[in-house]
Amino acid sequence: MFGDLYPVLGAIDSIVEGENDHVSYLDSAIYSELDFNDHREIRLMKIFRRQGESIACQLWTANLDEKPQYCAVSYTWGPSTNEEAERGVTNEPTHRIFCNSHALLITENLYNFLVRAAENPDLASRSMWIDILCIDQHNDSERAEQVELMASIYESANFVLAWLGEEDKSTERSFGLIKHLASLSDDELKSITPGRLACENALHLLGPCGGISSWNSLARFLQRNYFNRVWIIQEITLAKVRLAICGKHKIPWDYIVKVSKFLMISSWTRCFSPGGVFAAVVSHPSKHALPNLVEANRRTIAKDESKALLYTLIRARRFVASDPRDKIYALLGVIAKSTSGKNKLSPVYGKRSVAETYTLAAIQILKDSDDLLLLLQAEGDAFRTIDALPSWVPDWSCSRTVGLGVTGYTRFSASGNVPRSLCIDEKSKTLAVMGTKLDDIVMNSESKQDLLLRKPFPRLLAMICALPLPYHTSQPPLEVLWRSLITDTAGEEKAHPAPPAYGNAFLSWFHTRLDEIAQHVDKSLLSKVHKILSQDVDSLGKIVLQDAHQDMTEAEEYETVFSHSPNLRPFLTRNLFFGIGSESLHEQDSIWIIAGSRIPLILRAAGSRTYEIVGGSYVHGFMGGQALKLCKPFEAIELI
């Protein structure tokens, strides 16, 4: 029963009573035409019979203004797990049900939910809203109308059920661990680290749920496809009450959020990512942080309506949508106040291409803001799959983590107080901005992802040896390195500049990495790096190790911060400035300070004073306006 989780579900009978007072049942056709003049009209459904393996349901129309009682179902159309996908489960309709006495095919994942719901008295008696059944998916006009109404649909529901898919052998054990972790205080959670699972304190806090088999099960559970479905940002954010169901198991969604945050900000984040402790279990991009990102949008929306859409898009990067246009449309409901009445953002399916959808959204965002934060989300060829996009328009269909690992970049001010200068040519899809070139890139190294995957990094070692002693900021090369690799930001409060203690953590981590690659790089190069290490160790602070465990903890702390923005590549400029930017960067790309941009941009020449954006960058020593004293006056350039 759901009553043991939330009081509202313990009073189902009082809710159900009279729930159909304001509905009119359809005739024999599955879909009758909704009244588009009444923008609050929707369809609801109920499961009313199951004979053997057949499921039957009834559809009828309802008006949200009349406050019908129903639950909304949040789910993924396709396979719920990677294992289901491997055995051939798709998002194609393959399972037959009867709807308004007509046979109808639905996907396997939805069919599994309906079977579970039909077996559960609380759910079988409920009126429900399920998108694929309650919206005519072949009617583009209706689909667009209902997408605009979807926020109200989830907001008006008595509760939202997050159907995570059918259970597997890991579900029960993973739910047990989630419940235990969610019951702990923040201080108690901090004491549970990968290296201390066998300690007395961890054994006491977690009991039988703390074994490695439970953590393996949790890793499998957090790989479920539901967690990176872009529509859950709207569906879960707007829900009054949220419950997660996996097979016959159920849990409050808030428990999953708390565990997600714990895993995201602690050293566990590396364990749950490819290449980590659970590499055999987690063979796909990690999803453990995504429930917490959904929750973070609530705070963003409440703080700053003018930037709500862009901030939400940035956080939605790692989510996916079967229709790439939904990377925009799925977010509109949660920020309706700031997007209402703006035609460039109105959902249009069929006639409007993905490239046009993204370009119009980018233009609207630039017009609604007074900075150039949008441009910092464009990350070059390595992160683009949609043809015909201008280089300055982010390709939101890319679900990889991009950028420097922060949302608003408010800790930086590379262009000082120089205001934005921007002219948008909507016809040619070009931007005119003011900028000044800082330098050209002459060396680049392996990516941060390569280091996380334990690959050799001889090019980075060569760059370390090329750094001047001291750097122009009077800091030694290794300090420049460790600060740049984490954009000089670390600690619980994301302090900038990063606390000096992270220099010690870096040395622990870097020594281990050098030992791992010793057999795969040139010995003379490695010797030069070790010499630099010995010269710099005093300035970084000598490492005092009480035991081997402390060494491991320090290394974990640095690598955890390092891993938060993995798709970046270190570089060195002609004047020996060290930085880090998009994986897409090439030698001979140039670093520019752009008026109104908080961080330097990497640009690629496309003609006389015409450039393509490759991405944003961190350049050590130039993130606070210092370049304005060094560079030439700003000039007009065009971004295409």
Considering Cα of 425, then 348, then 149, then 225, what sign does the dihedral take?
negative
Q: Rounded mean pLDDT of the chain?
A: 87
Q: Sorting pLDDT into bands at 50, 70 and 90, what band is 546?
A: very low
Q: For 433-456, what is each residue's pLDDT tens digit?
A: 999 999 999 999 999 999 998 999
**CA separation for the pair 216, 174 (Å, rounded):** 8
Question: So what's the pLDDT on residue 14?
Answer: 31
Partners of 610 in the β-ladder: 607, 638
Residues 6 or more apart whose CB falls under 8 angstroms from that of 613 comprise: 375, 378, 380, 391, 392, 601, 602, 603, 604, 639
Inter-residue contact 423 to 436 (CB < 8 Å): no
**CA separation for the pair 374, 392 (Å, rounded):** 8
Burial (0-12, 13-18, 19+ Cβ within 10 Å), 500: exposed
- Measuring CA to CA, which residue among 136, 126, 72 is closest to residue 99? 136
Q: For 102-143, what is each residue's pLDDT tens digit?
A: 888 999 999 999 999 998 888 888 999 999 899 887 788 888
Q: What DSSP assignment string belongs to 123-178?
A: HHTS-EE-HHHHS-TT-HHHHHHHHHHHHHHHHHSSEEEEE--S--TTHHHHHHHH
Q: For 462-518, what is each residue's pLDDT tens digit?
A: 999 999 989 999 999 999 999 999 999 998 778 999 999 899 899 999 999 999 999
**CA separation for the pair 354, 256 (Å, rounded):** 33
Burial 556-593 (b: 16+ CB within 10 A, else e): bbbbbbbbbbbbbbbbbbeeebbbbbbbbbeeebbbbb
Please state, as a whole number, how many other Cβ atoms lie within 10 Å of the Cβ of residue 36: 11
271 token code pair: 């364990």
Residues 6 or more apart whose CB falls under 8 angstroms from that of 479 comprise: 471, 503, 536, 539, 540
Q: How far apart are the first and last CA of the chain?
A: 58
Question: So what's the pLDDT on residue 142?
Answer: 84
Q: Sorting pLDDT into bands at 50, 70 and 90, what band is 31?
A: confident
Q: For 181-202, what is each residue's pLDDT tens digit?
A: 999 999 999 889 888 888 888 8
Q: Sorting pLDDT into bands at 50, 70 and 90, what band is 536?
A: low
Inter-residue contact 322 to 344 (CB < 8 Å): no
Q: For 65-74, what is each residue's pLDDT tens digit?
A: 999 999 999 9
Please state, as a whole number, how many other Cβ atoms lie within 10 Å of the Cβ of residue 92: 10
- Measuring CA to CA, which residue among 334, 332, 232 is closest to residue 291? 232
- Look up the pTM and report it: 0.84
Quick one: average pLDDT of 348-354? 89
Q: Sorting pLDDT into bands at 50, 70 and 90, what band is 21?
A: very low
Cis preceding linkage at 497, omega within 30: yes
Number of helices (H), then strands (E), belonging to the chain: the values are 24, 18
Whether residue 235 has pLDDT greater than 70: yes
**CA separation for the pair 622, 631 (Å, rounded):** 11
Q: For 47-84, what is each residue's pLDDT tens digit?
A: 877 666 689 999 999 999 999 999 999 999 899 998 99
More reliable by pLDDT, 355 or 22: 355
More reliable by pLDDT, 568 or 297: 568
Count Cα atoms within 13 angstroms, Cβ side, for 555. Answer: 16
Q: Sorting pLDDT into bands at 50, 70 and 90, what band is 36?
A: low
Q: Sorting pLDDT into bands at 50, 70 and 90, what band is 551?
A: very low
Q: Sorting pLDDT into bands at 50, 70 and 90, what band is 29?
A: low
**CA separation for the pair 198, 259 (Å, rounded):** 20
Residue with tokens 């990512």: 273
Question: So what's the pLDDT on residue 390?
Answer: 97
In the DSSP assignment, the letter for residue 636 is E
Q: For 573-625, what is each residue's pLDDT tens digit?
A: 999 999 999 999 999 999 999 999 999 999 999 999 999 999 999 999 999 99
198 token code pair: 């066998």
**CA separation for the pair 481, 478 (Å, rounded):** 5
Whether residue 634 has pLDDT greater than 60: yes
3-state helix, strand, coil in the chain (%, to 5): 40, 20, 40
Whether residue 338 has pLDDT greater than 60: yes
Question: So what's the pLDDT on residue 537?
Answer: 62
- Measuring CA to CA, which residue among 419, 425, 416, 510 is closest to residue 464? 510
Inter-residue contact 372 to 392 (CB < 8 Å): no
Cis preceding linkage at 470, omega within 30: yes
**CA separation for the pair 526, 331 (Å, rounded):** 49
- Measuring CA to CA, which residue among 476, 481, 586, 596 is closest to residue 540? 476
**CA separation for the pair 9, 392 (Å, rounded):** 48
Residues 6 or more apart whose CB falls under 8 angstroms from that of 187 comprise: none
More reliable by pLDDT, 577 or 8: 577
Question: So what's the pLDDT on residue 23?
Answer: 33
Inter-residue contact 457 to 465 (CB < 8 Å): no
Burial (0-12, 13-18, 19+ Cβ within 10 Å), 54: exposed
Query: What type of residue is 86?
Result: E
Residues 6 or more apart whose CB falls under 8 angstroms from that of 419 comprise: 370, 595, 596
**CA separation for the pair 396, 318 (Å, rounded):** 9
Question: So what's the pLDDT on residue 493?
Answer: 76
Considering Cα of 34, then 45, then 18, then 74, what sign does the dihedral take?
negative
Question: Which own/partner contact pairs does 262-268 have at CB distance under 8 Å and 24+ positions apart?
Answer: 262/181, 262/189, 263/222, 263/288, 263/289, 264/288, 264/289, 264/292, 265/492, 266/189, 266/190, 266/193, 266/560, 267/193, 267/194, 267/553, 267/556, 267/557, 267/559, 267/560, 268/193, 268/194
Q: How far is Cα of residue 330 from the mean position of the Cα atoms in its chain? A: 14
Whether residue 282 has pLDDT greater than 80: no
Q: Sorting pLDDT into bands at 50, 70 and 90, what band is 89?
A: very high
Whether residue 348 has pLDDT greater than 80: yes
Whether residue 2 has pLDDT greater than 50: no
Percentage of the chain surpassing pLDDT 70? Answer: 90
Query: Where do the domains of the chain lie?
Result: 2-157, 450-564
Kindly list the distances between the CA atom of residue 572 and the CA atoms of 287, 442, 443, 585, in Å, as whole numbers in the listed order: 33, 6, 5, 11
Count Cα atoms within 13 angstroms, Cβ side, for 600. Answer: 33
